[in-house]
Amino acid sequence: MNDEENKVSVMEKISTQIVDKRNAFFLLYTILVIFCVFSKSWVSVNNDITTYLPESTETRQGLTLMEEEFVTYGTASVMISNITYDQALHIKEDLEAIDGVSRIDFDDSTDHFKSASALYSISFKGEDKDEITQNAMNEVLDYIDDYDHYVSSTITEDSVASLEAEIQFVLVIAIFIILGVLLFTSKTYMEIPVLVITFGVAAILNMGTHFLYGEISFISNSIAVVLQLALAIDYAIILCHRFTEERVHLPARKAAIKALSKAIPEISSSSLTTISGLMALMFMQFEIGFDMGIVLIKALLFSLLTVFTLMPGLLMVFSNAMDKTQHKNFVPKITYWGKLVIKTRYIIPPLFVIIVIGAFYLSSQTNYVYGYTTLTTVKQNETQIAKKKIDETFGTNNLLAVIVPSGDYELEGKLLREYDQLEVTDSTLGLASTEVDDRYYVTDKLNPRQLSEMVDIDIELCKLLYQAYAVEQGSYSKLINGVDDYGVPLIDIFMFLYDQKEAGYFTLDEELENTMNDLYEQLCEGKAQLESEDYSRLLLNLNMPEEGEESFEWLDKFHTIAHKYYDDVYFAGNTTSDNDLGDSFATDNLIISILSALFVMLILLFTFKSAGVPVLLVLTIQGSIFINFTFPVLQDVNIFFMSYLVVTSIQMGATIDYAIVITSRYMELKKYMPINEAMITSLNQAFPTIITSGSILASAGLLIGRITSDYAISSIGTCLGRGTVISLILVMGVLPQTLLFGDKIIEKTAFVLKRRGLITVHRGNLRMSGKLKGYVEGFVDAEIKGVIKGEVKGIVEVGGISLDDQDIEIEEEEIPEEEVVK
């Protein structure tokens, strides 16, 4: 007992310092908020999900090589509808004349003209963010503005800005919902500004410190503030309710100190389950989990910090206003529901087990996907609408890049020709497959006579050119044996020829020089995109789906064919990315499931000091997860794989708190009253907290799912919102019966066992002298001396209760031997 009193004393001392130094905290938070308002713009947001793939994956290695070795010029797919083919040709000519446009692929085939719609594949002279590309794209958009057009391009797409606007809209709606929920569950109107200010400061501090990580993902950046609000609002509610309870009989300062000293341990322990669930994310191979984990954990820590150090001062400032704006409790008692729980305690648990088994089977049939092509969202942005329209008219385009060692054009040509013969290949692109005319590719080896005939240059001049090239390359044997049969790749001899012209060794007439300059520019652009000093990039346009068992089998065939010619080959594209994500999903799923359950169970084990309680609670929440992911199966829709991983950890960590609220109250109350009455009272006491926190988290998730257009974020929001609703239903409608049904298991697996003793029930006018632990129109744990009028139910530990009149009813209830507690 002395240790507990010293602990409480230390906590009260800390609380006193926080309350008394409130002005200093106000100043500190004001400075931090001003700083974070500006530092928010320093945050670097990464909107490429593939960068979070493990370094060991082929996709990540291939993408890294492409970034380091090749230039990727900007492209755009532009569809113009309701035009004739002649109009389409005229438009093509006008677009080609725009400065910054490199070339436009368009012809009369169904790949480019279909159903009175023209599809232009435009290539630009710079990369996406280059000024020349941006200016050219703007001119293209201005030109087609009067036509019925659809544009799909990363040049114009600003997914980060679009997503931020959507999330801000979500946040505004969420705030109104939260205000409505708080108004319904509050005890005084002026506690709402205290809660809003506390959360607002925490959110600003979290957003303003993202830059400390260097870079965060677009997913974390988008949903962190909304999930922070949903996951952490109950911390502030707990302290606020503690304060209003203490304020009934204490002045504001003492009430704030007392409330904070009680709330710090309670809130800290409550936050551990949520943080542990987020920590499980950080162990994923797919590093987006680590990114989300550290961002959301930081959000929760800032929420805890502001609740512990800022909110007590705010409660002091608003205390008088809170006293004047008290209102009746709008949250109804759910005694009737509690009585129904008692009646169904032997029915619901077995039925729940059957449902969970069925849900486990169905959820295992969920079709998880690793790309966006088969996903849909309620809200779609302009880019998604345009891409969908283009795909519906001309079909989808699945591009696969193959990176091989450079230096052997003949080998590249063989590989490309073998790929081109496959039924899933529409076309191939590489230097070895780029035609100069109907006779030659740019990598074909030509002798002097062939070059002379092709470009109409004098044969003797061509021989001199080849001799000079041989000298530069150190091929002196060619000079001795003659250059008539000396074959040089066309691209190499042409580049040498151009360099000699530029050096002034010969001149050409104006028309031929213009032709040569144009060809040189095209070859340079092609070479920059398709060949580096060490690697060549081959591009395959495929007519197969982006993902699926058949697509992944074809990917294996592409690997097999490539390894016939090269030892070191790298593939990059949506199909390889989806394949790598699918490989990591099985491992990450196992890690998330085991660690989430393990972390939570360890916390519950030490919280309740019983092996049975953690098992019952985790099974209830895990059951809600199984049920949650049966819906996609029943609805026959695909689910983005990351939704399952993220929602599993958050749902396990966050909604277990609801189960803890009921269980902790039940475990305490059943020491002093029969377990049935203890459960009814627990449900009445826990319902306001659970309905407040749960409805906010569910609303936030469902809003994200319906208002955001990003497939990954929308899917996470929908699954989290639906999962929270299911968890609420199970916590209120299954967990109570499970606890009653498994009460013997809980007691027998407790760490320390002792008898409860004798519960006595007294009704009437009572005179007591001694210590009572029980209920007297409310819980009492104190030494009492005086007369009590009413009902007393509890354990008289010291002294006794004497009768003050003859009409008193006295009942004694001996608790059965098996109903022993810690």
Q: Is 566:405 a contact under the CB 8 Å cutoff?
A: yes
Q: Which class does domain 332-393+595-750 fall in?
A: mainly alpha
The token duo for 368 is 């998880």
pLDDT of 810 reads 41
397: Cβ contacts below 8 Å, ≥ 6 apart: 541
Average pLDDT, the chain: 84
183: Cβ contacts below 8 Å, ≥ 6 apart: 189, 192
Comparing 367 with 514, the larger pLDDT belongs to 367
Q: Which of 354, 356, 342 is nearest to 733 (CA)?
A: 342
pLDDT of 26 reads 95
Q: Is 469:488 a contact under the CB 8 Å cutoff?
A: yes
- Return d(Cα 791, Cα 776) in angstroms, integer: 6
Q: Helix or strand or coil: residue 75?
A: strand
Judge whether residue 3 has pLDDT over 50. Answer: no
Judge whether residue 611 has pLDDT over 70. Answer: yes
pLDDT digits (tens, 9 = 90+) for 376-392: 888 888 888 888 899 88
pLDDT digits (tens, 9 = 90+) for 35-70: 999 998 888 888 888 888 888 888 889 988 988 998
For the four alpha carbons of 660, 661, 665 and 668, in that order, the dihedral sign comes to: positive
Q: How confident is the model at residue 795 (pLDDT cuts 50, 70, 90)?
A: low
Q: How confident is the model at residue 554 (pLDDT cuts 50, 70, 90)?
A: very high
3-state helix, strand, coil in the chain (%, to 5): 60, 15, 25
CATH superfamily of the 71-159 domain: Multidrug efflux transporter AcrB pore domain (3.30.70.1430)
pLDDT of 219 reads 85
pLDDT of 327 reads 78
pLDDT of 813 reads 44
pLDDT of 807 reads 44
**CA–CA distances in Å: residue 482 to residues 376, 470, 478:** 66, 11, 5
Segment 123-144 mean pLDDT? 91
> What own/partner pairs with CB < 8 Å and gap ≥ 24 does 616-620 have?
616/735, 616/738, 616/739, 616/742, 616/745, 616/746, 617/656, 617/659, 617/660, 617/663, 617/735, 618/652, 618/656, 619/356, 619/738, 620/659, 620/730, 620/731, 620/734, 620/735, 620/738
pLDDT of 814 reads 43
Q: Of the given ranges (22-26, 78-82, 636-640, 777-781), which has the lowest mean pLDDT?
A: 777-781
Comparing 51 with 349, the larger pLDDT belongs to 349
| Class of residue 485 by CB neighbours under 10 A (exposed 0-12, middle 13-18, buried 19+) | exposed
Q: Of the given ranges (255-259, 337-341, 592-596, 727-731), which has the lowest mean pLDDT?
A: 592-596
pTM of the model: 0.78
pLDDT of 767 reads 62
Segment 208-232 mean pLDDT? 86
pLDDT digits (tens, 9 = 90+) for 287-346: 888 999 999 999 999 999 999 999 999 999 999 998 888 877 778 889 999 999 999 999
Judge whether residue 582 has pLDDT over 60. Answer: yes
Q: How confident is the model at residue 743 (pLDDT cuts 50, 70, 90)?
A: confident
Q: Give how far the C-alpha of residue 621 lies from the chain's centroid of Cα atoms, to the nearest Å.
A: 20
Judge whether residue 811 has pLDDT over 60. Answer: no
Judge whether residue 682 has pLDDT over 80. Answer: yes
- Return d(Cα 447, Cα 625) in angstroms, integer: 70
Segment 224-246 mean pLDDT? 82
| Domain extent listing, the chain | 1-42+187-258+288-330, 71-159, 332-393+595-750, 432-541, 758-814
Q: How confident is the model at residue 822 (pLDDT cuts 50, 70, 90)?
A: very low
pLDDT of 609 reads 81
Helix (H) / strand (E) containing 570: strand 570-573
For the four alpha carbons of 540, 541, 543 and 547, in that order, the dihedral sign comes to: positive
Segment 235-259 mean pLDDT? 86
What percent of the chain has a predicted confidence (pLDDT) above 70?
89
- Return d(Cα 275, Cα 670) in angstroms, integer: 29
Q: Of the given ranges (157-166, 327-336, 380-389, 533-542), which has the lowest mean pLDDT?
A: 157-166
Common-topology check for domains 71-159 and 332-393+595-750: no
pLDDT of 49 reads 81
pLDDT digits (tens, 9 = 90+) for 270-282: 788 888 888 888 8
What percent of the chain has a predicted confidence (pLDDT) above 90?
31
Q: How confident is the model at residue 737 (pLDDT cuts 50, 70, 90)?
A: very high
pLDDT digits (tens, 9 = 90+) for 172-192: 888 888 888 888 877 888 988
Segment 198-219 mean pLDDT? 90
**Top-ranked range on mean pLDDT: pick from 385-394, 466-475, 604-613:** 385-394
pLDDT of 777 reads 59
Judge whether residue 669 has pLDDT over 90. Answer: no
The token duo for 158 is 């600003």
Helix (H) / strand (E) containing 403: strand 398-405
Q: How confident is the model at residue 133 (pLDDT cuts 50, 70, 90)?
A: very high
pLDDT of 401 reads 94
